[in-house]
Structure 1
Amino acid sequence: MKRSKRMIAAALFLAMVLCGAQSVSAAPAYSELSAVADTLYAVKAEPGTIHVGDSVQLQVVTGRSTTHVQVYDQNGSLVAQATDGAVDKSGRLYWTVSFSISQVGEKSFQVVAGNRYVDSANREITISVLSNVPKPVVTAVELKNTSAYCTVENYPDLAKVRLELRDTAGNVVYEDYQNEKLEAGTYTVTAYVRDDPYGTASEPYAFQVTQSEVDAYRLLRDARVVIVANEGTYTTVIPDDNNALSIGCLGWHATRAHDLVKNMLVQDPKTVESHLTGSSMLDELHQTNYIWNNRILTSSEASIMRGLLATDVSKTVQDATAEEDISAYLVYGRNRGITEEGALIYYADLYNQSPKRAREILEAIQEDGKALNLDNFHAYALENPVMGKYTYRRNLTYNTLKKLGYV
């Protein structure tokens, strides 16, 4: 045993001579490694925000003794590392580490710098990863009869986005808004890309529906109730109504019937063509609307038209056209000095039946110096040589308005 110790001592002395060392010490214990650990000065992502699938570069600055830089994800898995290629500047090493990210969101990574003894220091860095689909931006909200019509930048086809409406308390009013009627209040709308699995969204856009807008729509809604009760349903067809066809819930006549069906063709060509193919009506839709100025339908054509009027596109177009037309009638009435709500609706019904007779009745009331109220409109309409023939319709309109609470 003594001989072995002497041999070991001799070997150590020889090693000291060969290495020029003054003394020999053992490798540092693990608890002492911090004294020789290197320093991690800075970590910067270029860029700090990327799109999914793109690469990010980390610029890492360490002390000169660093031998490797590693990057770990939130699960502790190694995603990138560098062991060479560092640039030495003024006693510090500058490293570049690149890697791609395949998921959307705020992603955190742990950057670790180390030397041959230990991983000396680490820092966390967060990178924002966006979807690679264009981001929607709500640029405007137009209110029309208490429905909100949104303009979304990058998505002119609104079918590609989902519109989420929330109230001032943050509650979801509509998860997938489809131009439903809104109550008075303040709302925010956020657009989400439908086919984007990562849910790329716009910033919330605030807008307001006023009580006056709600009241105006109530008047329009009640006017429609009155007029539709006098005219018919979505599928109403009168083949010969004073030498031309009338169709739909507002009884669109002649050229206006042509305009209505032409709009359906624009909105949904496949549906309209499937119903009208084989009929001369399909070719006539591609001509001026005057071709229906004296158009009378045959019994078979009337049956074909009823089938078309029962479709979803027909109902959508009729609803929109009815609101547009009745809104215009009410504006005409206000512009002629009618302020009483019941009188406005009565005038709108007269105007839908015959614009010429509606003006005659209004002017007759004014010439006699009478008030433009509901009772006078009804009385003068019954005395009109044309409208007076439609006693049932005039009485139905008047009595319906009374039941609805209009005076």
Structure 2
Amino acid sequence: MTTAVKYFLLIINNKKARNTIIGIVIGVIAAVLFLLMFTYESTQQNAAPIAEKAKEEYSFWQTHTPGSQNLSCQGERYCSYFKSSVTDWCCYFVGYCIQESGYETKDFGFAPGTIMWTNNLKELGKLKSADNYTPQVGNLIFFDYGGRSHYKATGNVDHIGIVVEVKDNSVTVIAGNEYNGQTSNWATVSYVNKYTLQLNDDSIACYGAVGSAIEKGLANVTRNVITHNEVGIFYSELDNSDFGSVTANDNGALSVGAYGWHGNNALSLLRKAYSISNAEINRVALSYSNTGRKVIAAITNGSDWSSYVPDSYTCSCIKAMLLTNAGIEAQNQTSTENAEEYIAICQENNINDKRAIVYCADILNQFGTGSFDKNVYGNGHNGVLYGVSNATFDSVYSSKRAWSDSNYSYETRRKWTYDYLKGLSDTDFS
């Protein structure tokens, strides 16, 4: 018996030593759990550092002048950061605060112009109407000085700032390129400004809900329901082998993976896997010879898979790619992104009942993110929730709008989803 083993046995047989070791282990576990809780809690306010950076910039200019910094104006600090000449610089100020807070500007929809920025946020599912959204610290705030009705009619936005405080019925904003409280067209005399407005101020057009926390439970239930309805297993119960689902012809195009990503969404998923590890994906491709090379060409080129129905050998190749570490990680990332996008779309459509949100998120996954809109289909049919005025869980279910025309071909899917969500407790969604 080795000396190390003897010492180990002596320690285990000694009650005091054993209790000390147990205490240390429990302490370590508690510390890890606390760290995980703190990390999760911190994500709930993950846009707050942007607001803090905006405050720092505002404070900086209270004690410094452009001349003291060898700048022609305050805006040069932010325009030059993005290698731009001095121009109307409100977007550059916000982009600076985002990037200097450690984030990627592309994840927040950054663009050098406000209208382009709001379009990007809309695509990300993070654009919120000022009529029915309460902003959070760190959110982006957009203005149309023609008023909200003008914004709704035209999509115009004149200006962008950062929400640094929300209190009672007011919002405090820090923005760049301001002159006498509004956006300035005279970039060289404008400045970083801080001011407070009522939430119902007519100039506030919309918000960028960057960093807005979606409750973890709500996102998890959404993923579980969608995955169950696509591949028959809750997402939380998937084994690695379950990520390789491939259906060659699912209503006219390929669908793959845990969410049944369809057509070009399937191609986008493979592109994400390729970006995570092109070595893994290329290794699979090589084992499928010319077929693998064709799939790689589709991933790396501008292919269109909207009506792509592959043969069985190509399906085997795609399945092998999905089952790589990169393929599984791509599905983990994309399923979370999709769940959060669907939840955001539901909230934008004034659906606030959590069971109704999950129920409708499954609809969005099945029919597409535009499926709530009027006249969304080429056959003239209205969107699946068009005409549902009271979007409670029971009213949405009873409307049967997403049951597929009069033959109710998705009745089983809708009924299972309803019954499952009805059986959950409220705490499952938080």
| Greater helix fraction, Structure 1 or Structure 2 | 2
The TM-score by the shorter chain falls in which range? Answer: 0.3 to 0.5
**Larger RCO (CA under 8 A, 6+ residues apart):** 2
**What TM-score, normalized by structure 1, do the two folds share?**
0.46
